[in-house]
């Protein structure tokens, strides 16, 4: 099942990041560039770095100048994340390009890669919630609550894995078809963000 491959790669990426646990650490992707695992690893690495950037920017005592730098880094990260999702969807479009779509086929509003994006974030939530369940300086109530939340997250992951695998199976059999749409983010575009294009005058 493809979802199991995703979780395996995401787990490796998360573990590799936490060896040094630094937002400045660059990914040492262990997979060849022509493998889908390479894209999955890179996608989750970006998510993992951004997870920790989002933690840093919420420091109530953060220097405003540093916060602005972090915000711009997060914006750049979001763009990279979106690009990776589109690359993963391109892989699926190529994989299923010769499938004959059945007359009664339906369209799925969420593409496979965007569902995989959610699975990557869920893998991070599960990792960090698991950490909270073994935090030594936490109260018993905190541990109990986090264990309950962890159980829900694991159920979510199981359900999402089932949905992803079913979607891919339906696409492969011609029961569903997919399209990809460029996200066309406007806030980073100098020709579309009014603040940016007015500043060029």
Q: Please state, in angstroms and rounded to a whole number, the distance separating the CA atoms of residues 44 and 121.
A: 8
User: Model pTM greater than 0.75?
Assistant: yes
Question: CA 108 to CA 167: how far, in whole Å?
Answer: 8
pLDDT beyond 90 at 158:
yes
pLDDT tens for each residue of 10-51: 999 999 999 999 999 999 999 999 999 999 999 999 999 999
Q: What is the pLDDT of residues 76-108, one digit of tens each?
A: 999 999 999 999 999 999 999 999 999 999 999
Residue 185 in this model has a pLDDT that exceeds 70: no
Helix axes 36-57, 64-95, angle to 10 degrees: 160
φ, ψ of residue 111 in degrees (nearest 5): -75, 160
Antiparallel, parallel or unpaired: β 106-107 and 176-177: parallel
Q: Quickly state the pLDDT bin for 190 (edges 50, 70, 90).
A: confident
Helix (H) or strand (E) segment spanning residue 176: strand 176-177
Domain ranges across the chain: 2-187
């Amino acid at each position: 099942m493809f979802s199991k491959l995703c979780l395996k790669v995401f787990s490796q990426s998360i573990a590799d990041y936490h060896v040094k646990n630094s937002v400045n650490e660059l990914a040492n992707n262990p997979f060849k560039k022509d493998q889908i695992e390479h894209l999955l690893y890179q996608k989750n690495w970006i998510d993992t770095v951004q997870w920790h950037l989002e933690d840093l920017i919420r420091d109530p005592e953060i220097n405003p100048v540093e916060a602005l730098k972090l915000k711009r880094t997060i914006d750049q990260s979001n763009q990279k994340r979106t690009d990776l999702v589109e690359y993963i969807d391109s892989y699926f479009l190529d994989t299923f390009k010769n499938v004959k779509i059945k007359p009664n086929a339906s369209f799925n509003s969420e593409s496979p890669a965007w569902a995989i994006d959610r699975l990557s974030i869920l893998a991070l939530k599960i990792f960090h919630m698991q950490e909270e369940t073994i935090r030594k300086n936490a109260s018993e109530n905190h541990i109990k609550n986090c264990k309950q939340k962890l159980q829900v997250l694991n159920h979510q992951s199981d359900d999402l894995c089932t949905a992803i695998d079913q979607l891919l199976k339906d696409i492969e059999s011609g029961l569903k078809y997919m399209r990809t749409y460029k996200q066309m983010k406007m806030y980073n575009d100098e020709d579309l963000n009014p603040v940016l294009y007015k500043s060029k005058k």
